[in-house]
Amino acid sequence: MVGQNDLIKELDRLIGDDMFPRFSIVLGERGMEHEDVAHYVADKMDALYLVLQDVKVDTIRQMIKQAYSLHETTVFCIPHADDMSVNAKNAMLKVAEEAPNRAYIIMCLEDLSNTLATIQSRAQIFRMDRCKPDDIKEFASSLCVTPDTEFVKVAGEVCRTPGEVYMLSKMGATNFHRYVEWVADNLTTMPSADIFKISDKLALKDEEDKYDCKLFLIALQNEYMKRVCKMPIGEDACTKYCMCEMARVVGQYLQDFRVKGINKAMLLNQCYLDVRKVWKSTKSNNT
């Protein structure tokens, strides 16, 4: 588990003291190795490890029924618990309040707001640490059959989790980086009708041959900040302020991508418009 040394120590302590909770939540950003944490717990306990295939209400109910009829210690992992329906969450309440003696239930979440407050109150929450850039670079390097400095460099700049490194490797780091640079160069000056075409290369659904929307926004925000840092001392203060504001706007929309079921196309188009609005406002005030 990349960058999770402190979490591993805490798990080892609780398991060693026979104090690991019957019901817990592993909380971490998209692409973190949530399931690996649950698997690690099962291995340390020498327990049976079962991963739910989906988070539908019938699957949750079947897990609960199985949990009350166990003959051996079992760790149940509920991946992608952010996607659970209200009915599935409600079904979890009873077992969350009092898990069976031989069952350990671990929910994997990206955002606590995607589950019920009553479920949160019954769980011990383990927060995964954000990976450091050096950890990400080391992990990216480990994926390369031959040295690829461009891939490792871009991964260190835009990826925050091991899962995002995998995404970047499939997308092609060099072409992705060039596209982000092109957008940063042209977004503020291209004809208004063309800005909505920017998203044509982004995966608004599950298109594997397109660029991930969230990574794109991270990279675009990072590109604006890099350009601020590269500006010589004495450069027009308005230009620096404009770049910082554009980066801030992109960052705001990046936060909205945490909401499940968000309309990605609409969100991205509004982001482009707001970035252009910042640029136009700064240009107008500077003339």
pTM listed for this prediction: 0.74
User: What does the pLDDT look like over 2-31, one tens digit per residue?
Assistant: 778 899 999 999 999 999 999 999 998 887
Q: What is the pLDDT of residue 101?
A: 84
pLDDT band for 286, please (50, 70, 90 cuts).
low
The Cα 198–Cα 278 span in angstroms is 18
Q: Using CA atoms, how far apart are residues 231 and 214, in angstroms rounded to an integer? A: 26
Least confident segment among 103-112, 187-196, 227-236 = 227-236
pLDDT at position 217: 95
- Which residue reads 């000056």 in tokens? 189
Which region holds residue 152: left if phi is over 0, alpha if psi is between -120 and 50, else beta? Answer: alpha
Q: Which residues contact 264 (CB under 8 A, 6 or more apart)?
A: 199, 202, 204, 213, 257
Residue identified by tokens 């069952």 is 103
Mean pLDDT (the chain, rounded) = 89
Report, as an integer, the average pLDDT of 140-163.
87
Q: What is the pLDDT of residue 70?
A: 87
Q: How far apart are alpha carbons 21 and 98 in whole angstroms?
A: 11
Note the pLDDT tens digit of each residue in 98-151.
888 889 999 999 888 889 999 999 999 999 988 888 889 988 998 887 878 889
Residue-wise pLDDT for 46-69, tens only, equals 999 999 999 999 999 999 999 988
